């Protein structure tokens, strides 16, 4: 069973690993894309982040499928990643050629 935080209950020990891995989930819907920010834990209780981009696509014969891209970000890289993201977003924000869409 899954509660609102995305954490699965352990039932008869079968979902123990899922319970330990699923710590926090944030879903961001942005136009045609959905982003999932999932905090998980290793067996040693070290946290890491997965960032997943999901896009709805139309496949052969009109069947819908979701194309997903995933990044794994480990604790030792959090600060450098955040710095790089801030710098890139600031650059775009300061670039007068880019139109801003909210």
Nearest to 37 by CA among 23, 53, 26: 26
Cβ(2)–Cβ(15) below 8 Å: no
Reported as a single tens digit per residue, the pLDDT across 39-87 is 999 888 899 999 999 999 888 888 989 999 999 999 999 999 999 999 9
Q: For residues 21-37, give the mean pLDDT.
A: 92
Question: Could you identify the residue written with the tokens 């942005």?
Answer: 30
Nearest to 41 by CA among 14, 11, 8, 69: 8
Cross-strand bridge partners of residue 36? 27, 52
Q: Is the pLDDT of residue 11 over 60?
A: no
Identify the pLDDT of residue 86.
Answer: 97
Identify the pLDDT of residue 6.
Answer: 43
Q: Is the pLDDT of residue 18 over 60?
A: no
């Amino acid at each position: 069973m899954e509660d609102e935080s995305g954490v699965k209950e352990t039932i008869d020990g079968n979902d123990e690993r899922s319970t330990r891995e699923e710590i926090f989930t944030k879903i961001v819907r942005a136009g045609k894309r959905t982003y999932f920010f999932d905090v998980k834990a290793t067996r040693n209780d070290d946290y890491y982040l997965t960032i997943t981009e999901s896009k709805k696509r139309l496949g052969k014969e009109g069947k819908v499928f979701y194309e997903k891209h995933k990044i794994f970000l480990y604790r030792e890289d959090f600060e450098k990643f955040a710095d790089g993201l801030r710098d890139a977003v600031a650059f775009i924000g300061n670039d007068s050629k880019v139109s801003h869409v909210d």
